[in-house]
Amino acid sequence: ALTSELGKQIKLKEVEGTLLQLATVDNWSQIQSFEAKPDDLLICTYPKAASGTTWIQEIVDMIEHNGDVEKCQRAIIQQRHPFIEWARPPQPSGVEKAKAMPSPRILKTHLSTQLLPPSFWESNCKFLYVARNAKDCMVSYYHFQRMNHKLPDPGTWEEYFETFINGKVVWGSWFDHVKGWWEMKDRYQILFLFYEDIKRDPKHEIQKVMKFMGKNLDETVLDKIVQETSFEKMKENPMTNRSTVSKSIMDQSISPFMRKGTVGDWKNHFTVAQNERFDEIYRKKMEGTSINFCMEL
């Protein structure tokens, strides 16, 4: 157990070497026996305030509803797509919410390929993975842990640097997560996207998602989706900016959930020495993979 800034005990437990929240681990058999369906679409990202999960969720929701803003305002983003491994009893778990959802379902997970319930692979459903470069992910996750009282206090930036590269964060190592999903992409129906690409050319990437979802929207609708899912819009939108979450869970006066939304903010955090060390570790850990990240725009 680790102590948060509020002095709360944050209970985590490992599953196959990956740290997860205790309530998730307590619910593990229900999660592992989850029954996926062939027409499910699973949104997958490395956690949590890190990779642009909320961003891709809003994009997918807008595409599904043909750019109808009102329909996307029906609920806060956390409630629109059941989060498979989420558990906070006595509230209904992510699995229970998914079961209650009519098909075709759009679901969300932060699990690695190793920990994903096997029925997702067996049902051959669609997966939409969004990856973000490790350095910006580390920065984003660090600030998220500072403000989120359900996650451990990250400590100083120097301390967090070690925690992150050793994969001792909730949902595990960035390196294993990204490598695992990258390796699966040719064997399953996986659309593998990069945060940096969406940032550089949102329309082009949104079009890819649209085609992957089997939809066909005209230019004006696409342009509207680009506009509505911009960082500036989503930061002001109470359905996406987490402003409805209680301060005892997320304290946005410490760091806003919609923090910066840029590529390359790592340069404001990494020292020259940390950067060199990181690059060396990265080379070792990512050896043999063909994945290539953009580090600045």
The torsion of the CA quartet 170, 175, 181, 184, rounded to 10 degrees, works out to: -140
Kind of pairing, strands 126-131 and 41-45?
Answer: parallel
Cβ 249 to ligand A3P shortest distance, Å? 14
When binding is defined by CB under 6 A, the residue of 21, 31, 36, 55 that contacts ligand A3P is: 55
Residues 161-200 that bind ligand A3P (CB under 6 A): none
Nearer to ligand A3P, 119 or 170 (CB): 170
Residue 27 is a binding residue for ligand A3P (CB under 6 A): no
Q: Which residue is nearest to ligand A3P (CB)?
A: 261
Question: Is 110 designated active site?
Answer: yes
80 binds ligand A3P (CB under 6 A): no
3-state secondary structure of 39: coil
Name residues whose C-beta falls within 8 Å of residue 217's C-beta, 6 or more positions apart in sequence.
63, 66, 67, 210, 225
Q: Which stretch binds ligand A3P (CB under 6 A): 18-26, 32-40, 44-52, 278-286?
A: 44-52
Q: Which of 18, 21, 45, 113 binds ligand A3P (CB under 6 A)?
A: 45
| CA distance linking residue 112 with residue 179, whole number of Å | 9
Q: What minimum distance in Å lies between the beta carbon of 237 and ligand A3P?
A: 9
In the range 247-266, which residues lie near ligand A3P by CB under 6 A? 258-261, 265
